Amino acid sequence: MDAAVPTPFQRYQPWRRSVEIGFWVVSYLLSAIGNSVTTNMDVSRLALGFASWQPVAWESSSALAALALVAAVAWFTRRCPLHLDTWRRMLPAHLLASVVWSALHVIAMVAIRKAVYATQGQHYDFGTWWWEFGYEYLKDIRSYAGVVATIEVYRFVLRRWQGEASLLDVPDDGPPVESVDRPERFLVRKLGREFLVAANDIEWMQASGNYVNLRMRGHDYPLRSTIGGIEGKLDPERFVRVHRSYIVNLDQVGSIESLETGDARVHMKDGSNLPCSRTYRGGLRQRVGLDA
* The pLDDT of residue 170: 42
User: Given pLDDT bands bounded at 50, 70 and 90, which one contains residue 247?
Assistant: very high
Q: For residues 163 and 168, which has the higher predicted lDDT (pLDDT)?
A: 163
* Cβ contact 93:168 at 8 Å: no
* Cβ contact 136:126 at 8 Å: no
3, pLDDT greater than 50:
no
* The pLDDT of residue 177: 46
Range 87-109 average pLDDT: 95
Of the ranges 51-55, 81-85, 189-193, which is most confident? Answer: 51-55
Range 103-120 average pLDDT: 96
Q: For residues 168 and 31, which has the higher predicted lDDT (pLDDT)?
A: 31
217, pLDDT greater than 90:
no
Ordered DSSP codes for 103-125 = HHHHHHHHHHHHHHHHHTT----
Q: For residues 83 and 63, which has the higher predicted lDDT (pLDDT)?
A: 63
- Report the alpha-carbon angle 55-25-158, nearest 5: 140
CA gap 221, 114 in Å, rounded:
48
CA gap 192, 218 in Å, rounded:
21
Measured between its terminal Cα atoms, the distance across the chain in Å is 38
Range 21-46 average pLDDT: 96
User: Given pLDDT bands bounded at 50, 70 and 90, which one contains residue 86?
Assistant: confident
Kindly list the structural domains of the chain, giving each domain's residue range(s) and its CATH number in brackets, ordered by start.
8-162 (no CATH), 199-287 (2.40.50.1020)
Which of 206, 95, 81, 215 is CA-nearest to residue 153?
81
* The pLDDT of residue 33: 97
* Cβ contact 203:249 at 8 Å: yes
* The pLDDT of residue 101: 97
The model's pTM is 0.78
Range 79-87 average pLDDT: 83
Mean pLDDT for the chain overall: 88
Q: Picking from 110-119, 171-180, 276-285, which range would have the lowest pLDDT averaged per residue? A: 171-180
Q: For residues 94 and 288, which has the higher predicted lDDT (pLDDT)?
A: 94
User: Given pLDDT bands bounded at 50, 70 and 90, which one contains residue 77?
Assistant: very high
Q: For residues 85 and 265, which has the higher predicted lDDT (pLDDT)?
A: 265
Q: For residues 258 and 285, which has the higher predicted lDDT (pLDDT)?
A: 258
* The pLDDT of residue 239: 92
